[in-house]
Amino acid sequence: MSYAKISQVAHYVPDQVVTNNDLAQIMDTSDEWISSRTGIKERHISHDQQTSALATEVAKKLLAQSSWQASDLDFILVATITPDSMMPSTAARVQANIGASHAFAFDVTAACSGFIFALSTAEKLILSGSCKRGLVIGAEVLSKVIDWQDRRTAVLFGDGAGGVLIEASDQKHFLIESLHTDGGRGQALTSSYQGLASPFSVEEDSHLSLEMDGRAVFDFAIRDVVATIKETLSEADLSAEELDYFLLHQANDRMLDKMARKLCVDREKLPANMMRYGNTSAASVPILLSECIAEGKITLGSGQKLVLAGFGGGLTWGILLLTI
Ligand code: ACO
């Protein structure tokens, strides 16, 4: 029986940095409001790159860090809610860009939980024995779906990509997972859908830009996501203190303060980087993991225990308990 492990981690963000003060030049907001409510100070915004370009940079880094060639990959999964197009998928574009001739590729659409859902799927592909290695990438160009007239959402998001190389291992690294969707609460976060007019059907409402009931999403994260993390730890017979780090979706620093309090752990166990990237949806957890490794907080192969958690549109939420 073969298990799965994360063997490489990388991230990439576009060069252009937009600060809160830059935003205050074009809308009725301020650095004071944005930083005190969210912790965000700046974000990277793509000038001319689509999501597949960001994901391709991550894929190239992952391969360069490893001893594998693109042709050794069995699959490529890209989690995104901002695909270049619905067809071909962003994953198919990455597959072509890096020449991964033997890999099948598809996108996973689960908003800010997308990377977690995709990583869980990748683990199953490896556990099945049919695949030996693949890439799992979260990548977003959210700046393309934001209503730049709407200060309630425009200040929150940023563009970026992060990902992992996952491969077969003789040791168990993925300990417990807990994945959830509550479509009944889906209207709390919506974005980008437009059906074309047809002579045979009624025209549907289209809501192209991202819209969010911020308070409802905040409350959902504090209540449902924390409860699921606690259940997962209890199933593993671990206390929160026994975990090395909780790498949680980077939406709001105040939210992480509350989550740390409810989990009864030091806030240092919940690293944050949304101050530099904003909320990058499916990219946020892998970018954070990549930075924690670069900073030496987390070391692959060390046996540290981590919780990875994504939560957002769907509503979706997913927890992975790993020993890294
Ligand atoms: N600048 C200045 N004022 C603003 C801004 C802004 N950018 N945005 C809103 N305001 C004003 C509002 O108009 C309102 O004014 P009013 O009282 O005169 O009406 C006031 O500030 C308070 O607005 P709220 O929306 O109530 O602010 P709140 O404290 O709830 O903070 C926030 C909003 C930051 C969005 C918070 O609710 C939040 O972080 N929610 C969670 C978001 C999240 O987790 N998303 C994750 C999933 S994303 C995904 O899946 C893609």
- CA 316, chain centre distance (Å): 12
* Ligand 1 closest atom vs CA 155: 7
CB of 312 sitting under 6 A from ligand 1 = yes
pLDDT at position 46 is 97
**Would you call 292 a catalytic residue per the annotation?**
no
Is the domain of 159 the same as that of 187? no
Is the domain of 156 the same as that of 268? no
Is the domain of 198 the same as that of 150? no
CB of 138 sitting under 6 A from ligand 1 = no
Q: What is the CATH number of the domain that holds 278?
A: 3.40.47.10
Q: Which of 173, 249, 252, 273 is catalytic?
A: 249
Q: Which of 143, 171, 199 is the last residue of a domain?
A: 171
Is the domain of 38 the same as that of 119? yes
- pLDDT band for position 110 (cuts 50, 70, 90): very high
Residue 100 has pLDDT above 70, yes or no: yes
- Average of per-residue pLDDT values in the chain: 96
d(CA 283, CA 61): 15
Nearest to 135 by CA among 176, 175, 97, 173: 97
Tens of pLDDT, residues 111-165: 999 999 999 999 999 999 999 999 999 999 999 999 999 999 999 999 999 999 9
Task: Report the 10 Å Cβ neighbour count for 213.
Answer: 15
pLDDT at position 205 is 67
**Would you call 279 a catalytic residue per the annotation?**
yes
pLDDT at position 194 is 73
Q: Which residue has its alpha carbon closest to ligand 1 atom 32? A: 214
Is the domain of 159 the same as that of 295? no
Which conformational region is residue 70 in: left (phi greater than 0), alpha (psi within -120 to 50 degrees), or beta? alpha
Is the domain of 211 the same as that of 269? yes
* Ligand 1 closest atom vs CA 151: 7
Is the domain of 220 the same as that of 279? yes
State which of 43, 51, 252, 317 you would mutate to test the pocket of ligand 1, scoring each by most atoms of that ligand within 8 A of its C-beta.
Answer: 252
Q: Which residue has its alpha carbon closest to ligand 1 atom 40? A: 214
* Ligand 1 closest atom vs CA 81: 51
- In the chain, the number of structural domains is 2
Q: Which of 118, 146, 171 is the last residue of a domain?
A: 171
Is the domain of 167 the same as that of 35? yes
Tens of pLDDT, residues 187-200: 999 997 677 778 88
Is the domain of 138 the same as that of 15? yes
Q: What domain range is 32 assigned to?
A: 3-171
Q: Which of 121, 136, 171 is the last residue of a domain?
A: 171
Q: pTM of this prediction?
A: 0.96
- CA 207, chain centre distance (Å): 23
**Would you call 131 a catalytic residue per the annotation?**
no
* Ligand 1 closest atom vs CA 313: 50
- pLDDT band for position 1 (cuts 50, 70, 90): low
